[in-house]
Structure 1
Amino acid sequence: MWRDLTPIGRDAESKGYRRFAWTEADRDCRDWFRSQAETRGLTYELDRNGNQWAWLGDPTREDAVVTGSHLDSVPDGGPFDGPLGVVSSFAALDELRHRGAEFTRPLAIVNFGDEEGARFGLACVGSRLTAGQLTRDQAHRLRDADGVTLPRAMEQAGHDPEAIGPDPERLARIGAFVELHVEQGRALDLTGDRIGVASAIWPHGRWRFDFRGEANHAGTTRLVDRRDPMLPYAETVLAARREAQLAGAVATFGKIAVEPNGVNAIPSLVRGWLDSRAADQSALDTVVTAVEKAAREHAARHGVDLDVVRESFTPVVEFGHALRDELTGILGPDTPVLGTGAGHDAGILSASIPTAMLFVRNPTGVSHSPAEFAAEDDCLAGVTALADVLEGLACR
């Protein structure tokens, strides 16, 4: 499975993945998922929001156990973030069949669409729509960098954008959702453990900072006459790092757009996106407030206007203790329980259904990069752990 999936959406030069929502690479990933479902005799289903499901047992029965993750990527992302969870889900089902497990609850494997938000700027679109945390009108207003709307992209891929929206009937049939994911950090590597259980997802959000100055000639405009928005932007980047360190949080300006974007032109607009995350809401609020305060002070000093817009926000997600304890009971009391600063579909769904997560060791801690890695033995340990969990939940 891994060998067949690996080439899809991989850039020849960067070796990273560009599996963006409703593109050709996304279509090929979806074809792969459907093929895996049909090969195993599972009932395949594409829901109203573009999420894919592979069912063992009656899809209309309640109290189903669901596992899976996503197949899309960030720009030049790594091979494990998302796909490891989907591949491991199919492999875990194969392992349970090899054991001769007898299922007492329906089991499903899911591929949630547009988890990374790389194309339209909002993460977890498929699961947000399903859970009612994103309305159809809000989704229809999403655009990519080329101005293509989400509805148009869906239409081009053969999906009906008018059908999207909350799916409470589907969620009501799910008794538990368990997502396996490569760890996006080094906590397990530092403790020497292959597998961990998630405790919580840090609160996190994305804020857009628009610094508006005045375009002018880079060679003829005196420094004292400039209203250069790049200067307060650069100072704000440094402020974000400083404030994150003080609060024990993380803050990153990882995306920037410049107009007119000429080598010999002073910019008229510098637009930067801040991603910030912290272990608790208070620390996150402290960082973002301080960064915005610094940005406004720097902008005013350089005669630059500033607008700050919060584009997305996810509060802290504390995974349900009952399901989490059930997982540690199945895997053993020594299984480490750890938090994460990364968002996941399991976090979105946790407000509607019981959810839990398993992490597989990442020896480098690198993620969202072609260097992302997990050793084969650790991946196989993840499959075994997921199979044990699914057997404990669905085969009682």
Structure 2
Amino acid sequence: MISLADQKRRIEQGALTPDAALAESLTAIDKREAEIKAFVARAKNPKAQKDGPLRGIAVGIKDIIDTADMPTEMGAPSIYKGNQPRADAPIVMQLRQAGATVVGKTTTTAFAANDPTPTLNPRNLGHTPGGSSSGSAAAVAAGMIPLAVGTQTGGSVIRPASFCGVAAIKPSYRLLPPVGVKCFSWTLDTVGLFAADVEDVAIALAAITGRSELNAPELKSPRIGVVTQDFAGPPEAGGSEALQHAARAAAKAGASVRELKMPEIVQEAWRIHIVVQQFEAHQAFAWEYRENYDIMPPLLRKRLDDSRHFTPADYDAARNVTLKARAALSDILKDVDVLLALSAPGIAPKGLDSTGDARYNQLWTLMGTPCVNVPAYVADGNLPVGVQTIADFGHDAKAIAAARFMGRALKS
């Protein structure tokens, strides 16, 4: 994989020009894209910028995010073929203002839902890279680009990062602007980042937001609460091994590690995530669903068909549970620095029929908390499983600092 931190250091030292750094990515894309299929569009004659902390850094943008120089088809060309926004989404402009070069649009499941892309997992071509940010995770894992942007409504950043063995952050809700991103659920949609390592994610997030404190140093001797998420069902192949391995590594490296059980209100929040998501989805996709029903992506259409029974009263009750659960989780996080949980139930599913299960992600998305994926374990078939460090809302620097600790502990 291409290290953003290494490219940035060499550029600042004068050992690498921004043009040469960008050329590394363009060459890698040319070499691997036909096999991996991570992009749906490529920028024409991309040029490296001369200024900015991310000058020379190539970035891929998930194709539900508006770009003024490339179409945004949202994985649904049957409805949005050739759709050309007039302006960049704010997150794209933040990247450009930081000096990064947008080199292409990465694949997304249709409308960031369930209908898979043709993208392959670079770790094992017979398996899915996950979704919905399929191309962003795969492009980084394949060593094509050092940075990519994705989104998460259920588990669409952290889960594909786990399946592909890369670092990623789902920041606190709306730390990165969701404006100019096709909406699925305005309570849940969160813009996130993929990179080779936690250091790369931290550097990029700090540069994009102008918040230098997000490039946080490693947290020393953190207090870690392990959450098995039994309420979400048992882990799959490689899952339990990954979490146990990570907990042991953290304790060996000097962390205080103990298992935590989530209170009933938090478990209830996990159960009602679907109510919030689907009630809002029916409004977000009202035009597509009503006016283009027959050509809607079939798996998303079925999800909408199956969730028409949710009422405003159901939604209001779910929001009430959400508020109470967020308060309860915040109280828990006063006694530990971070939570440690699996990023996915296990390894990436075989084939491309499914992008995997978001059941280990949806609670944290609803809670709006920052989550950082750290590759933790490699199962048979060269298939990774990650763990996520989870901090309280607004404590993104702490989640990153703990992830840096976990990364070092797991490499020891």
Higher helix fraction (1 or 2): 2
Per chain length, whose mean CA-contact separation is higher, i.e. which structure has more relative contact order (CA < 8 Å, sep 6+)?
Answer: 1
Fold shared per TM-score above 0.5: no
Q: Tell me the TM-score normalized by structure 1.
A: 0.24
